[in-house]
Amino acid sequence: MTSRTMFDQARGALLDDGRDLTLEELKALTEVPVEDVPGLAALAHEVRLERCGPEIEVEGILSAKTGGCPEDCHFCSQSSKFETPVRPTGYLDMNEVLAAARETKEIGASEFCIVMALRGPDEKTIDNVLEATKLIGSETGLNVAASLGILTRDQAERLATGGIHRYNHNLETSRSFFPEIVSTHSWEERYETCTMVRETGMELCCGALLGMGESVDQRIELLGQLREVDPTEVPLNFLNPRPGTPLGDRPLMEPLDAIRWIALFRLALPEVILRYAGGREVTLGELQAMGMTAGINALIVGNYLTTLGRGPLQDIKMLGDLKMPIGALSKVI
Ligand code: SF4
């Protein structure tokens, strides 16, 4: 079957019949020749505009506790198990958090995410995050999201009732590949937290990290598993190999391959907020704007936890040049 025929069939399923593509259909699209990737991207862009609208959601993230994490995620420079240049910091105080939220508001963002490098939060951390959430909400009007690791049900309920509208917990990779990447907690623990987040009424933000050595089949498996947890948002990360981590020597994904996978994520998850997250600058280089026309409809601006993203104004200019309006995409507001 030619690429053109496959694209026509996928368009018919997604836009005319309102039917999701099967994992087999998605697998077939992974095989389109590299010269047809721009056509795949164009289809994904069309699907995004039709199913999500033209707005781009902009989010600022703040690392409120960096490094010193007891877990051993092989891609992460914040793990205490590896010798990396990241030095652990204490918790940021409320003024610093509020100042970062105000800066985020000034660049036109609608979301602010408080991120901590933890296996999971203790009660004091939950108290602090809820206090910050109240303050940020009243001072800036931003939606507040959090990423604090694995939760108990009681903690998830407290966060939900305390005003956290979206919680980030990534599956990162497929169930079958996960044991090669993390040994200190299981994929199932992650899956459970994701399920709990939705059950307690928060929006689920559940991301993926591509380029760790997983196979094409394992990426398709991950897409099926992401569909099961039914996230509102999927941050798409590309491995930026960090010195000192076990994945520090892995090669970067090829830029056009990254575009192919952005498009496939959009075609697999037509209505999610698909967010550009870590590793996009080093992986995509000059093709970053192309990702915006391949299915992406959200950006994290500024610094990504331990690696500096490009300046937020560059991203805002890119959106201006692409004539893409900034807006809030949350389903609950
Ligand atoms: S990815 Fe999260 S849980 Fe894993 S080591 Fe890094 S900070 Fe810890």
| Domain-located, residue 327 | no
Is residue 331 assigned to a domain? no
Please, what is the end-to-end C-alpha distance for the chain in angstroms? 43
Residues 55-82: tens digit of each pLDDT: 999 888 888 888 989 999 999 999 999 9
Q: Is 308 contained in some domain?
A: yes
Q: Model confidence at 301, in pLDDT bands (50, 70, 90)?
A: confident
Q: Bridge-partner residues for 301, per DSSP?
A: 60
**Nearest partner of 131 among 144, 120, 148, judged by Cα:** 144
Distance CA 121, CA 223 (A): 28
Residue holding tokens 């928060």? 202
Find out whether 48 and 58 touch, Cβ atoms under 8 Å. no
Structural domain contains residue 68 = yes
Query: Is 62 a domain residue?
Result: yes
Q: Is the residue at 166 inside a domain?
A: yes
**Residue 149 CA to ligand 1 centre (angstroms):** 8
Give mean pLDDT, residues 264-289: 95
Query: Looking at the whole model, is its pTM more than 0.75?
Result: yes
Q: For the chain, what percent of residues have pLDDT higher than 90? A: 77
Q: Which ligand 1 atom lies nearest to the CA of residue 182?
A: 4
329 pocket-lining for ligand 1 (C-beta < 6 Å)? no
Residues 187, 162 contacting (CB under 8 angstroms): no
Tell me which residue range forms the domain holding 11: 3-321
| Joined tokens for residue 236 | 């798409």
CATH number at residue 62: 3.20.20.70
Mean pLDDT of 100-111: 86
Please check whether residue 315 lies inside any domain of the structure.
Answer: yes
| Model pLDDT, residue 302 | 60
In a domain, 326, yes or no: no
Which tens digit of pLDDT belongs to each residue from 223-240?
999 999 999 999 999 999
Give yes or no for residue 79 CB within 6 A of ligand 1.
yes
Cα–Cα distance measured from residue 149 to residue 169, given in angstroms and rounded to the nearest whole number: 7
Q: Domain total for the chain?
A: 1
In angstroms, what is the span from residue 223 Cα to ligand 1's centroid? 21
